């Protein structure tokens, strides 16, 4: 990035602050849209036909996962296009596309229509990765870390508080109305982005913007760390989403078919988000002193403590407590991963680096629900938490390997 461009950013600080504010709301609502179906997805599908328990688990996993599978495939394409045409254009495309698709989900009449629209939702994705890229490149360097940290908080809070939002809408209105309301809110995100987000053009040179993937990776320093962070992101997302397809069914089982299952399931699913919002700021300050990589390792330990006992819970209150601990572990890991990624990514390649990370995150969102549905059918719902514990341990080992060569460096 040129010195002249950095000077221009420093002279117009309210602009980058305005971008962060608007895009925080955008990534928050995108996270809500992606996660709000968790408390009632299986119950909504159950209204679209007559299914056995195993069929319902399978369709719930497939419908939830298909959106993230498509996102994983198309995200690098949108990232490269963003480098060439601008990130704001990609933000507008994603916001408007998701708005229309979410609204239409409230009108489906069978599970196949819902599956198609979820796939289309994935194809319209890319808001979060391009928001990260735009903020990283449009913010003065001295404020970039702070700005990205704020944006990560919005994304994390949206992903994890979304279930409470969705569960509440479904309880007080209906499953279909919740989709309509979310679609309208995403259209508001489109309007706000159109009029309030500012992007200075020609940040990337044509040579970089049009570079092939092979050329891109050849010129990235710390490849081992970058790839390690991609894998860490994928596996964290795998354990975070493994319970999603069956969370309402598990809550219903613990509550012995009580009438307020949807609302309680939303509260259970929201526990990690509440914990993350509370814990992320102080943990960020602690990470500045202990080291970002050490915070991620602490997050792995907390995650094991949170997931393994969940396999033996006998009440919803116990489930809520351990899901709250999951949020504590997320607060240590998710912002830290984004921070390490931004510190070790060349500025000219920002869009594609973040889009690749989103692809890995989306793969985790695919694997989590599918593995969760499979484990639930083989070992019942409780087996999911034992599975997640094993994945966390594997993730911790792989992360240690990817950061070992940086042990004495400041990362």
* CA atoms of 46 and 59, how far apart (whole Å): 10
Structural domain includes residue 240:
yes
Structural domain includes residue 124:
yes
**pLDDT bracket for residue 389 (50, 70, 90):** very high
How does pLDDT run across 344-381, given as a tens digit for each residue?
A: 777 667 677 878 888 888 888 778 877 888 888 888 88
The span from the first CA to the last CA of the chain, in angstroms, equals 22
> Which two tokens mark 301?
């330990």
Structural domain includes residue 391:
yes
- The highest-confidence range among 63-72, 186-195, 339-348, by mean pLDDT, is 186-195
Q: Are 322 and 306 in contact (CB under 8 A)?
A: yes
* CA atoms of 349 and 331, how far apart (whole Å): 27
How does pLDDT run across 126-177, given as a tens digit for each residue?
A: 788 788 778 877 777 666 666 776 777 787 778 767 777 877 887 888 888 8
Chain-centre distance for alpha carbon 331: 13
| Number of domains composing the chain | 1
* CA atoms of 335 and 124, how far apart (whole Å): 24
Structural domain includes residue 189:
yes
Residue with the larger pLDDT of the pair 208 and 366: 366
* CA atoms of 123 and 77, how far apart (whole Å): 11
* CA atoms of 37 and 42, how far apart (whole Å): 9
Q: Are 30 and 128 in contact (CB under 8 A)?
A: yes
* CA atoms of 39 and 155, how far apart (whole Å): 19
Structural domain includes residue 211:
no
Distances (CA, A) of 25 to 31, 32, 79, 325: 10, 10, 21, 25
Q: Is the dihedral of CA 230, 232, 235, 241 positive or negative?
A: negative
Domain extent at residue 285 = 13-197+218-403
Residue 39: partners with Cβ closer than 8 Å, 6 or more residues away: 163, 164, 166, 167, 170, 247, 248, 262, 263, 265, 266, 269
Predicted pLDDT at 408: 44
* CA atoms of 154 and 177, how far apart (whole Å): 24
The domain that holds 385 is classified in CATH as 1.20.1250.20
Structural domain includes residue 190:
yes
Structural domain includes residue 243:
yes
Q: Are 183 and 99 in contact (CB under 8 A)?
A: yes
Q: How many CB atoms lie within 10 A of CB 317?
A: 10
Q: What angle do CA 325, 331, 336 make, to 5 degrees?
A: 145
By mean pLDDT, which of 75-89, 234-248, 296-310, 377-391 is the weakest? 75-89
Structural domain includes residue 301:
yes
Distances (CA, A) of 349 to 54, 170, 337: 44, 41, 17
pLDDT of 410 above 50: no
């Amino acid at each position: 990035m040129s010195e002249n461009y950095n000077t221009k950013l420093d002279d117009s600080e309210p602009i980058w602050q305005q971008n962060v504010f608007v895009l925080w709301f955008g990534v928050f609502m995108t996270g809500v849209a992606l996660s709000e179906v968790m408390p009632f997805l299986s119950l909504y599908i159950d209204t679209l036909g007559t299914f056995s328990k195993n069929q319902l688990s399978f369709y719930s996993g497939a419908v939830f996962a298909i959106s993230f599978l498509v996102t994983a495939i198309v995200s690098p394409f949108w990232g490269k296009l963003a480098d060439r045409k601008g990130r704001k254009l990609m933000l507008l495309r994603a916001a408007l596309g998701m708005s229309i698709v979410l609204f239409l989900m409230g009108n489906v009449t069978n599970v196949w229509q819902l599956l198609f629209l979820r796939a289309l939702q994935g194809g319209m994705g890319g808001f979060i990765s391009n928001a990260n890229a735009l903020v990283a490149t449009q913010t003065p360097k001295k404020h970039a870390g702070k700005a990205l940290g704020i944006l990560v908080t919005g994304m994390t809070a949206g992903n994890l508080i979304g279930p409470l939002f969705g569960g509440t809408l479904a309880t007080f209105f209906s499953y279909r109305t919740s989709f309509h309301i979310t679609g309208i809110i995403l259209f508001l995100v489109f309007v706000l982005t159109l009029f309030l987000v500012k992007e200075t053009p020609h940040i990337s040179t044509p040579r970089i913007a049009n570079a092939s993937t092979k050329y891109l990776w050849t010129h990235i320093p710390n490849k081992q760390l970058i790839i390690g962070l991609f894998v860490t992101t994928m596996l964290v997302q795998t354990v975070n989403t493994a319970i999603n397809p069956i969370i309402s069914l598990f809550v219903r089982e613990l509550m012995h078919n009580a009438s307020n299952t949807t609302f309680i399931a939303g509260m259970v699913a929201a526990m990690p988000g509440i914990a993350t919002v509370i814990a992320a700021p102080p943990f960020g300050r602690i990470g500045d002193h202990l080291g970002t990589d050490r915070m991620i390792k602490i997050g792995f330990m907390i995650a094991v403590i949170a997931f393994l006992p969940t396999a033996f819970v006998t009440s919803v209150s116990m489930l809520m407590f351990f899901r709250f601990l999951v949020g504590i572990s997320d607060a240590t890991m998710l912002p830290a991963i984004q921070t390490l990624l931004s510190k070790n990514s060349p500025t000219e390649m920002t869009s594609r680096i973040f889009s690749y990370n989103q692809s890995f995150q989306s793969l985790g969102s695919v694997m989590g629900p599918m593995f969760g549905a499979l484990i639930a059918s083989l070992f019942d719902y409780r087996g999911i938490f034992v599975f997640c514990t094993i994945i966390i341990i594997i993730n911790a080992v792989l992360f240690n390997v990817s950061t070992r060569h940086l042990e004495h460096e400041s990362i």
